[in-house]
Structure 1
Amino acid sequence: MKHGLLWIARALGLFALCSWLTRRELRILCYHGIWDGPGHYGNYLFMSPGKFRSRLAFLQDWGARVLPLPVALERLAQGRLPARAVVITIDDGWASTVAHMVPALEQAGFPATLYVTSYYAHNQRPVLNVALAYALSRWAAGERDSTLLPLPGLGQLNCPAGDAIALHRATDQVIEHASTLADDDARQAFLCSVISATGLAQDPVWGGPAFRLASRDQLREASAKGIDLQLHTHRHRTTCNGTSCLAQELADNRSWLTGVGEGPFEHFCYPSGQYQASDWEVLRRQGIESATTTEIGLCRRGENPYALPRILDGESLSELELEAELSGFLTMLRRISRR
């Protein structure tokens, strides 16, 4: 039904009308990594290589003016933004981003901003929560005699096949338990035990870079190819034990990125899109010029630079839905609904 209504809206010229009405607004696209393992996993977290390449081709056909983030924000503030102005942003800094996205962007001639979280990039170990979530999702989707999964330190978790709520609950329990372990060595050992318990030790994904962030050398190579490396915290968090640690996270992140990217490092992406108004003063004191969220929409002149909306693109998002977002049609509907 949604696709039918969008098709009718486009056929009636509403996409074109909204594109004209929002012609001086900025479209900031949000991507994460590329899934090059078996099957597919992640939707908004990972996209297939072919889908990402087709997105870049669509942007070219749509007439997008893809600009570097600092240039686009400056022109937005000055009211000099060209029609259909687009910025491409990529979160986290997965190894698959450098392996697949960077060459595709280079071939298309598109600039992009890569927000790098540096702890796992430095340690070069699997990102724990993502790897754990994948292991449990694969186990829940497989054929098995029991719904109970025995795990060290947690007993038997109940995760019936097809029960998304139970899977989500079990995943939260496993990730929370891992966070209480003594150090990273203990957490990685726990990941190995979960992989063994779920019977996924032979899954080829574990031998590759699927859950690893790009190394310092790989990121330096991406920077040399024109990718703008920017801030995403060191440990992918803004609070610790209920207290803000944003300033320290930014300092650690900036220190690690110095010598990897060209800088200056003054643009930021909130980890998991989570933020609060009290963060804005911290960002100002740290010399941050902009901060992007995961709230969906277009950026207008005068927008709070520390709460910029984006358009989240995912594997399951159709080209028609993406066009509805880029044209401003869905943003206009949201604005009308709020009023």
Structure 2
Amino acid sequence: MPVLIFHRVHARPDPLFPGEVDAARFDQLCGWLRRWFHVLPLDEAVRLQKQGALPARAAAITFDDGYADNHDVAMPILQRHGISACFFIASGFLDGGCMWNDRVIEAVRRSKLPSLDLRELSEGLLGVYPLENIEARRAAIQAIIGKAKYLPVQKRLDLVDAVLRAAGVALPRDLMMSSEQVRLMRRGGMQIGAHTLSHPILAGLDAAAATAEIDGSRQQLQGLLDERIGLFAYPNGKLGSDYSAESVELVRRLGFDAAVSTHPGVFGAKADLFQIPRFTPWESDKLRFGLRLAQTMARS
């Protein structure tokens, strides 16, 4: 069973990231999936897998992080196709927050400067980045995020603050969902899962800090929705670099029903319920998308 992972669904194509999913493409993908598969809510798929009763052509759709366009753009499309997806929320960014990588993206996207000189501000870690066109801005974003991603948390935040100061921009306050939008998603038939408070690299945290992040997110969402949260997604989701065997055991001990990774593959009868693999659908035409799905399923 393929479990698809998305992050954003833009209302219109994003010039900076033309490969990211927009509304028209997501609508098309949902149509294909609806015709080819029995698209299940993830918690139902987990329950059926435990019973050894997953349908032969089952699939599930998931989203990570909690972007506002999940509510504004993705949910109406899902509802139109009669599909329920699971949305994993990094709950510390609700109501006006902004994830560190998006702060970099928006700083570079919105800057009016011809270039960003970040050498002194980053103690030599970063360089000079031209901003004269879309391609240059895209390259700058990739370079800065690549350097910052695995820094210690406070050092990464300090670096991002320096980038923002250099860019001279104000951040959007509506990039992530509001608490009310999360409630509306649930009322609209979508599922909500936990995704930590601040989207850290769990493998770099001690047990107490990891527990605070994972359980803190669950408790916040449970208070928001007045219901139990049973599903979890590891931030970034790669075993070893992003989360560890200890992270898996912690999620299990905290009483979650299942957890998803970003390891490629499909969710089958023998899959680890606490490291469910997920598939990222990059192909833009029906034949290639279907072939990629078939290849992913055949390798697993």
Q: Shorter chain as normaliser: what TM range? A: 0.7 to 0.9
Contact 2:89–2:193, Cα closer than 8 Å, also in 1: yes
Contact 2:64–2:89, Cα closer than 8 Å, also in 1: yes
SS in 2 for 1:323: helix
Q: 1:35 aligns with which of 1, 10, 23?
A: 10
Does residue 226 of the first structure (1) align with residue 189 of the second (2)? yes
Paired AA for residue 304 in structure 1: D
Does residue 104 of the first structure (1) align with residue 71 of the second (2)? no
C-alpha separation in 1, matches of 2:271 and 2:177: 32
Contact 2:2–2:60, Cα closer than 8 Å, also in 1: yes
Q: Deviations over 1:41-90 (max 9, x none)?
A: 4467x42111111111111232x111111211221232222221111111
Paired AA for residue 4 in structure 2: L
TM-score by length of 1: 0.72
The structure in which a higher percent of residues are strand is 1
Determine the structure 1 residue equivalent to 2:297.
331
Task: Tell me: CA distance 1:223–1:138, structure 2 relative to 1, closer, same or farther (3 Å).
Answer: same
Greater length-normalized contact order (CA 8 Å, ≥ 6 residues apart): 1
5 Å matches for 1:189-208? Answer: 190=162, 192-196=164-168, 201=169
* Offset, 1:311: 1.2
Determine the structure 1 residue equivalent to 2:247.
279
C-alpha separation in 1, matches of 2:152 and 2:245: 30
* Offset, 1:180: 3.7
* Offset, 1:36: 3.7
Task: Tell me: CA distance 1:208–1:49, structure 2 relative to 1, closer, same or farther (3 Å).
Answer: farther
Does residue 290 of the first structure (1) align with residue 258 of the second (2)? yes
Q: 2:218 aligns with which of 244, 254, 258?
A: 254
Q: 1:125 aligns with which of 97, 113, 116?
A: 97
C-alpha separation in 1, matches of 2:217 and 2:32: 34
* Offset, 1:160: 6.3
Q: 1:268 aligns with which of 232, 242, 246?
A: 232
Q: Deviations over 1:101-133 (max 9, x none)?
A: 1111111111111111111114x1332322303
SS in 1 for 2:32: helix
Paired AA for residue 329 in structure 1: Q
Task: Tell me: CA distance 1:30–1:193, structure 2 relative to 1, closer, same or farther (3 Å).
Answer: same
Paired AA for residue 263 in structure 1: E
Does residue 319 of the first structure (1) align with residue 280 of the second (2)? no
Does residue 60 of the first structure (1) align with residue 23 of the second (2)? no
Contact 2:119–2:128, Cα closer than 8 Å, also in 1: no
Q: Which shows bigger deviation, 47-56 or 234-243?
A: 234-243
Contact 1:229–1:263, Cα closer than 8 Å, also in 2: no
C-alpha separation in 2, matches of 1:177 and 1:304: 30
Q: Which runs of 5+ in 1 are unaligned?
A: 1-25
* Offset, 1:302: 2.0
Paired AA for residue 78 in structure 1: Q
Q: Which runs of 5+ in 2 are unaligned?
A: none
Determine which structure has more spread, i.e. the larger CA radius of gyration: 1
Q: Deviations over 1:226-251 (max 9, x none)?
A: 11111111111253865343221122
Q: Deviations over 1:122-166 (max 9, x none)?
A: 4x1332322303544787xx995x7x6257723772336868887
TM-score by length of 2: 0.81
Does residue 78 of the first structure (1) align with residue 44 of the second (2)? no
Task: Tell me: CA distance 1:283–1:38, structure 2 relative to 1, closer, same or farther (3 Å).
Answer: closer
SS in 2 for 1:278: helix
C-alpha separation in 1, matches of 2:226 and 2:143: 42
| Aligned positions, number | 289
Q: Which shows bigger deviation, 46-55 or 243-252?
A: 243-252
